[in-house]
Structure 1
Amino acid sequence: MTVCTGNICRSPMAEIVLRDRLDAAGLGDQVEVSSSGVSDEEHGRPVDRRARRTLEAHGYPGGDGHRARQVTVDDLASSDLLLPMTAQHARRLRRLAAGAPADGLAEIRMYRSFDPDAPVVEPGGDEQPLDVDDPWYGDEAGFEDCLAEIEAAADGVVAHVRDRLTAREQAS
Structure 2
Amino acid sequence: MIDIINDTLQASIDTKKSAIAENDQRLVKSARLMAESLTAGGKILLFGNGGSAADAQHIAAEFVNRFQTERVPLASIALTTDSSIITSIGNDYSFEEIFSKQVTALGRKNDVAVGISTSGNSPNVVKALKAAEKVGMHTVAFTGKGGQAADMAEIALTVPVGVTARIQESHILMGHILCDLVDRILFPENF
Q: TM-score when scaled to structure 1? A: 0.44
Work out which of the two has the higher radius of gyration on C-alpha atoms and give 1 or 2: 2
Point out the structure with the larger helix share: 2
Point out the structure with the larger strand share: 2
